A and B are shown apart, each in its own frame.
Chain A
Amino acid sequence: MGQINLDIVTPERRVFQGQVDMIIAPGSEGFLGILPSHTPLITSLRIGIARIKNNDEQIKVAIGGGFMEVQPDKIIILANTAELGNEIDISRARAAKERAEERIATFENGGVASTEFDLLRARTSLQRALTRLKAADDDGTWRPGEKGLEE
């Protein structure tokens, strides 16, 4: 089976470029698996994990929403943010997750000066943090002996 050229770019950098067998992307209407010679397609992406399959390898990419343009010979993903699984700073993602959870909790307890909008924002950052943890193969629960996570 052939391969297709994949390009993942964010405003800050090019995250991935190369030939791949397949990509499974988090489309706004559900996950989409794209193989070479796919019908031209344009879709928005939601926050979630994209899986790139290449030979027997799988690379996970945490996508923070964006767009995907599929053409028979190439796929372009324009992501607001994108990080390869092995680049993700787990402790930072955890801190972000805890911060977001805290903010949601204060809101639900009728906390100070929070608006609907802030809640929405906190929920989005929670989602993003969880996605990043998942892409880094970390389920967010505390495990003793942190080092084991990186292997």
Chain B
Amino acid sequence: MEGLREIKRRIRSIHSTQQITRAMNMVAAAKLRKTQHLVTAIEPYVSNIEELIGDITKANGNLGHQFFRQKSEPGRSGIIVITGDRGLTGGHNSNIIKKALEGGDSPVFLCVGRKGRDYFVKRGYDVRAEYIGLPDEPGIRQAKEISENAIELFEGGDISELYVAYTEFITTVERKPHLLRILPIDKNIFMKNGKAGSLFLYEPGVEGVLNKLLPHYVEIQIYRGLVESKVSEFAARMMAMDTATDNADEMIEKLTLDFNRARQAEITQEISEIVGGAEALK
């Protein structure tokens, strides 16, 4: 059995670790509460923009915009991988990396978050861009930067498809990694949703509107990925740190038991030594 002092030292060390995990749990919970509304706030915007694209595609049967067009010969795919900058989030980062790796042969990666960047760079993957230090509340501005780079790759022919790998936030305990294709845009989905027969006036022309609207739609999809992933990261960290705090409690309990047992054994031994000594003197 370990010495009393050794056990005491370990209890103290676990206790201080527990204080850290508890603090991290509370910080993550606070951030989660602060950012959670962004996930629901984007919904009406997304459904409206999809309806708008639907109305346009429905009213104009043959739209030849290059964002709709499937490249004739399949090329490499580009994947925007959204991870966190830091760990201690349970499986959050590794799950999304695993998901991203499903995205075809020799893809081009655009990494959001230090964890993903480190993973793909270390293993020699083709990483074209990295975005580290995403704020807790991602804005459209960050999404715009990423989408501009990605669209450039798409238009330049470097990639024939664009995906975003993000973690959907369902509830605090339920999160799901997704690999979503955002380019080329599947016109058929919109064709179904659009209201038939509305004839629209366009300013400045159908092409002019689409040239602005479709890149913006890509941007919004990326923005949604950023927001969902960020909120998921906070939830994942909160859960992981909650478990860690509980585990620390368990360990402390067990060690305290060991400590008491060892102490009792020591006392018993001392008594028997004294008794033995007294016997010997008789």
Interface residues in chain A, defined as those with a beta carbon under 8 Å from any beta carbon in chain B: 7, 9-14, 27-29, 32, 39-44, 67, 69, 71, 76, 78, 80-81
Contacts and interface: CB of A to CB of B under 8 A. Distances in A.
A44 B48 contact: no
B48 A9 contact: yes
Given A11-B41, A11-B223, A69-B55, A44 B200 contact: no
A80 B48 contact: no
A43 B203 contact: yes
Contacts of B208: 28, 44
B213 A44 contact: yes
A69 B198 CA distance: 12
Interface residues of B, number: 27
A42 B55 contact: yes
A39 to B, nearest CB: 6
B49 interface: yes
A78 B198 contact: no
Interface class of chain B by DSSP: helix
Contacts of A7: 44, 48
Contacts of A14: 41, 44
B187 to A, nearest CB: 17
B42 interface: yes
A11 B140 contact: yes
B199 A40 contact: yes
B140 to A, nearest CB: 6
B213 A12 contact: no
B218 interface: no
B42 A11 contact: yes
Contacts of A67: 49, 52, 209, 212-213, 216
A69 B203 CA distance: 11
Contacts of B68: none
B202 interface: yes
Most central of A27, A32, A39, A44 by chain B CB within 10 Å: A44
A28 B202 CA distance: 11
B262 interface: no
**8 A-B pairs closest in CB distance:** A43-B203, A41-B201, A40-B200, A9-B45, A44-B212, A42-B200, A11-B45, A29-B203
Contacts of B204: 28-29, 43-44
A41 B209 CA distance: 11
A48 B43 CA distance: 25
Contacts of B51: 69, 76
B201 A78 contact: no
Contact of B52 (A13, A27, A78): A78
A27 to B, nearest CB: 6
B218 to A, nearest CB: 13
7 contacts: A11-B41, A11-B140, A28-B204, A29-B204, A41-B200, A43-B204, A80-B216
A7 B223 CA distance: 21
A14 B47 CA distance: 13
B29 interface: no
Contacts of B108: none
A27 B202 CA distance: 11
B199 A78 contact: no
B200 to A, nearest CB: 5
B150 interface: no
Nearest to A29: B203
B120 to A, nearest CB: 27
Given A11-B220, A42-B203, 20 more contacts: A9-B48, A11-B140, A11-B223, A12-B140, A13-B41, A14-B41, A28-B204, A40-B198, A41-B203, A42-B52, A42-B201, A42-B209, A44-B203, A44-B204, A44-B208, A67-B209, A67-B212, A69-B51, A76-B48, A76-B52
